[in-house]
Structure formats: structure tokens, C-alpha cells
Copies of this chain bind each other. A is one copy, B any other.
Amino acid sequence: MGKRLGPQTVRLEKEIHVVGAAGVAGKMEGEGPLGEYFDRVVIDAMFGEDSWEKAESHFVREAMERAVEKSGHTMGDMNYILCGDLLNQCIGTTFGIKDFSIPCFGVFGACSTMGETMSLGAMLLDGGFAETVLAGASSHFCSAEKQFRFPLPLGIQRPPVSARTVTGAGAVVLSRQGEGPLIREITTGKIVDLGIKDANHMGAAMAPAAAALIAAHLRETGRQVKDYDVIATGDLGHIGRELAIKLLKQEGFLADERYTDCGMLIFDRTRQDVHAGGSGCACSALTFASYFYPRLCRGEIRRMLFVPTGALLSTTSVQQGLSIPGIAHGIVLESGREE
């Protein structure tokens, strides 16, 4: 069991490359700081469909097609698709991928989904079960608000601690062949529940899981924060990131400016009405696929710890007074380029 570095972390033996990535984003994401990096910005929230849910599936489909095309492969080369989303029974995924006719595994990890699909995909490759795997995740502001919160036309005022669900989808092609950044280690999250019950305060619900994951990862790999050019959580936002830094300090790790959060990067809260930042499965999926991945390819980032974060709630669990457990999954990527 040489692959296991500790209770939560495994090291891959083979060279598993991210050979392609694509992000297709909504209008507000396109107007944000990362706008220029997305493969496509879709102004129409309906994406030409007649419902927001079908639009979300359209984002999934297009991000996957673009990632495959950019990898130099065809869809038929994909041995497995792994994908998930926030909608009830993951219909964003189902109707996004169904016509590809590829063996598939649906996953649910709330907003940590991209961490799950990339982790499982990389392990299927390293284990010798596949040559090439397609992994993705999606979310949509309108379908998420409609399902989890209030009808959009009500115009309910959101509290300052709330985040804005990112509209879009990100997808990556992982392969045992070819060129591109390497997935080196995978640290799989445990569910962490500190009893947070405010469904508008996801950052607080997820920060403990994120801090626990990063601390476990550093302990099990014997590394420090300074061994990474970037550590990026998924969607804690500004408030959640501050909490995670405090919790990491209690664990003995000093998280400096190397530690950022995709929810802070994808929107500019000084000029966009997003409160604590971005959230949703697409927040980390898009930011990784469109912003971090090209920087890894160019060697601007030599090693990063990517930590998509999820809040494991439903409207039913919240209405029944249950807490909001959090989870986070960690993936180490290296540029594979010499300095």
C-alpha cells in the first residue's frame, strides 16, 4: 500500500496529466475579473433553452465538448465521465451528458463536486482502469436560487454573508498519455460538522472542513504552506477564507497570501453585487479550468493544492433544523516543467 501517505492522502504512481480543460461561464462571471479567461461567456441565462435547468445542462455539454476538443481527443476516447451538480437528483449532469453515450459515474459532493470527479477520475487512471477520463461540474445561479432559496422575481434581499452561485460549467480531460500538468496527490475529505445552521452563511459552514482538509494534507505529506505556489479553496468567499485561516493557525499552519479562494477570484465584490463572493460547483470548476490550469501549463504555478469545498445541505435538512455539514477534497497539481 505504498500509495497511501496517511489516513486521507494517496500519492499517484503513474503520471496522470490534465491534458485539456474548458470553462463556459454566465454573463456576470464574464464581467468579473476572470472574464477574459473563459472559453465562452454566455450572455443569455437560458442559453437558448426554455428553462434554467436545461440551460445548466447546456453549460455542462458545451464545457465537456470544448475540453475534449482542446485535449486533442474525441468524445469517443473518453473511457468514463464523472460529473455532478447541485440540482435535485443531479439533472444538470444527466441531461448534459446523456447523449455522449460514455460509461459514467454521477457524483454528489455539493460544491466540492469538482474535487470528487477529479479525485476519482485520477484514481481510475492510476489504477489502470482507463486511458482517458472526462471530469466536470456545473451550477447555475437561477436554477440554484429557485431550488434552494426564493423565486427570483421576489427580489429577496440577501444578507452580507451570503454568496452568489456561479453560472457555468468546468471540465477537464485526464489522461495517462500526453502532456499537461500532473495530478500528484489526492487528499479525500471527511464530513465536518461544527453545528452551523445558517443556510445563508455557507462560508462558515464549509471553513472547518476546508481547514481540516488542508491541515491533514500538510501533515500527511510533510509539507508546509510555502511548498505550494497556490492553495485555493472552492467557494468559502471572503468571510469563510478568514475563518479557514484562523482555524489553520489553531492547527499550527500559517496560511499567507499563497492561500486564496475561487469564490473571491471569480467576482470583484467592489463592483459586483456578490456579497461574500462566488459559490456553487462551477465556482471552483470554472476557476480551475480557465484560470489555474493555463497558469500550471505555462509553469507560472509549479505546485498547487486545489480544494473544492461543499456544504451538504438540502432545503429539507435546513427546514428540519439540522446543521450544515461541510466537506472538502484536495488535489495536488504540478506543472511538470523544470524551473
Contacts and interface: CB of A to CB of B under 8 A. Distances in A.
Q: Which of A89, A90, A123, A327 has the most CB of B within 10 A?
A: A89
A13 B128 CA distance: 10
Contacts of A221: none
Interface string A286-326: 00000000000000000000000000111111001010010
Contact of A123 (B7, B116, B123): B123
Interface of A: 1-4, 7-8, 10, 13, 50-51, 53-54, 79-80, 84, 86-91, 94-95, 97-99, 101-110, 116, 119-120, 123-124, 126-131, 147, 188-191, 193, 312-317, 320, 322, 325, 327
Contacts of A101: 190-191
A190 to B, nearest CB: 5
Contact of A312 (B1, B91, B105, B193): B91
14 contacts: A51-B320, A84-B108, A89-B110, A89-B313, A90-B312, A91-B314, A91-B317, A94-B191, A95-B325, A98-B325, A102-B190, A104-B191, A106-B107, A123-B124
A37 B50 CA distance: 49
> Can you tell how many copies of this chain the complex includes?
2
B53 A1 contact: no
A32 to B, nearest CB: 26
A74 to B, nearest CB: 14
Given A2-B128, A98-B325, A106-B107, 4 more contacts: A1-B128, A89-B317, A90-B108, A127-B127
A97 B109 CA distance: 13
A179 B101 CA distance: 37
Contacts of A7: 79, 103
B89 A189 contact: no
Nearest to A119: B105
B105 A120 contact: yes
A221 to B, nearest CB: 15
Q: Which of A1, A317, A327 has the most CB of B within 10 A?
A: A317
A96 to B, nearest CB: 10
Given A91-B317, A314-B91, A105 B98 contact: no
B110 A108 contact: no
A4 B86 CA distance: 32
Nearest to A315: B88
A302 to B, nearest CB: 25
Given A3-B128, A51-B320, A129-B127, A105 B109 contact: yes
Given A80-B188, A86-B89, A88-B314, A105 B95 contact: no
A246 B314 CA distance: 40
A91 B193 CA distance: 14
Nearest to A189: B103
Nearest to A97: B191
B89 A108 contact: yes
Contacts of A50: 320
B53 A320 contact: yes
A51 B320 CA distance: 8
A129 B7 CA distance: 11
A209 B1 CA distance: 36
